[in-house]
Amino acid sequence: MIKVLVSGAAGKMGREVIRAIKAESDMQIVGAVDIAQVGIDAGMDSGVGPLGIEIAKDLKTEISNTKPDVVIDFTHPSVAMANARTILEARVNAVIGTTGLTDNNLNDIKKLCSSNKVNCIVAPNFAIGAVLMMMFSKTAAKYMPNVEIIELHHDKKADAPSGTALKTAELILGSEAAKGLVKGKPAETEKLQGARGGSLKGIHIHSVRLPGFVASQEVIFGGVGQTLKIRHDSLSRESFMPGVIMAVRKVRSVDGLVYGLENLL
């Protein structure tokens, strides 16, 4: 039985995680942490019925009290690194879906895993279809290196661009065609600042934030007389749960930090 603590338990993703973990026969929820709904039964808050586990406020204390095998963190970019440090320094494996972690953060997490002899899976996106989209995009870039990314999320998402968009761009830049990426026209002028979106080493990324979306991304490749679009849509947060469950099962057997769910497929 894998003992799981959910950090961010009262959030939309946290509630979905609790429902998903509750349905697995080889997993047990032993703790729940959030700054909201403190003292409320985590099962009642997520709609699965009473679990006998009250939502606690302090992550470090709850880890000490419940001794989980794995902590799943879906919180906020502003606290993601602090939570990662708390979990790993407690010598507990982590599955982190909170986006907004920087390259320096990931380097620090790698060091924390090594020094504490634990593992951590960080995934910008846990939807299997989204991971396939990223992998297909990397392949397409070998043949059509002119590319832009449009990502669309709900209006409550705190960071832009999304971790998925950044990860997609990084995978494309790591492909054989990286040197052929279009860097933009030297004489290009933005009449409205930001109209061309952000740029990661020549790949333009455009972020849309509107109510109604969960998470969508379109990778558009342009070539002579043709375009190719690779798009993924998460229609509900349930789409992320198979990836989360897979990560929980595999985190204890990986080696240190694993960044990106594609490394588990």
229 is catalytic: no
Of these residues, 153, 167, 206, 232, which one is catalytic? 153
DSSP SS3 for 161: coil
232 is catalytic: no
Alpha-carbon dihedral angle through residues 72, 75, 81, 85, given to the nearest 10 degrees: -40
Asked if 177 and 146 touch (Cβ cutoff 8 Å), the reply is no
Asked if 13 and 40 touch (Cβ cutoff 8 Å), the reply is no
**DSSP secondary structure of 115-160:** HHT--EEE-S---HHHHHHHHHHHHHTTT--EEEEEEEE-TT--SS
Of these residues, 22, 138, 157, 206, which one is catalytic? 157
Asked if 33 and 48 touch (Cβ cutoff 8 Å), the reply is no
Task: Name the residues annotated as catalytic.
Answer: 153, 157
